[in-house]
Amino acid sequence: MPRAPLLFALAALAGCGGAAAHRPTDAQIARRAGLTLRDLPAGWQRRAALRRADCPAFLQTRGTASAVAESGEFAADHDLRQVAGAVFVFKRAESARSAFANLSSPATRRCYASRLRAAVPAAMHVRLRGVTDFVTRVDPLGDEQAGSRFVVAYATARGQGVFYIDMLVVRAGRGIATESYTSDSAPLDGGLRYNLTALTARRLAGELGG
């Protein structure tokens, strides 16, 4: 089948005295917290940089963050499974809370579903049958967490298919981690999704608290 596209989907530390020079910058925090190929099981490979979502919440988050680090895209099984992520660090926790609310809002979920409806037919060379979106439960991670699932049904000359995109957003202090998991025919394994998101959340909290 055509490659299932992953369409998205994801503050200087104040100090005093000599210790301040050793504190990581926000750019370092974001980069250290994000996903790397080493975090994934054997068989995954790095692909090109992911295409950014242009919904207002994503644009605003990128514009107000003091640092952003993107993982790029990782794929397995001939690109039928894909993972990507982004970490945002803000100067203040209040800014992170506001960004989290925007990223996890119903309006952002509707916008993302709309972008999928517009982009999938051309990107995959298929006839779109429909896009369904709904909120998913996320086990407690960080200070706040939210999940959304998008089910994309399509048809080709050889039959019908479906792929799933799970988007998870976790806030830890003044940082946010967003991750997207795409899989053909069935959602990407829940254990893998949780483990990767939990790993990012722990690293982000650790870097911010260090």
Under CATH, what is the fold of the domain 24-190? Protein Transport Mog1p; Chain A (3.40.1000)
- pLDDT for 47 equals 87
* pTM summary value: 0.86
* Residue in 86, 41, 94 with CA at minimum distance from that of residue 179: 86
pLDDT value at position 49? 66
In eight-state DSSP terms, residue 80 is T
Rounded to whole angstroms, what are the CA distances from 66 to 20, 100, 112, 170, 173? 18, 15, 24, 17, 14
User: Looking at residue 210, what is its pLDDT?
Assistant: 53
> By C-alpha distance, which of 175, 198, 177, 206 is closest to 89?
175
Domain positions in the chain are: 24-190
pLDDT of amino acid 22: 75
The residues of the chain scoring below 50 in pLDDT are 1-20
Give the pLDDT of residue 51. Answer: 67
**Res 23: pLDDT:** 85
Distance, CA of 205 to CA of 208 (rounded, Å): 5
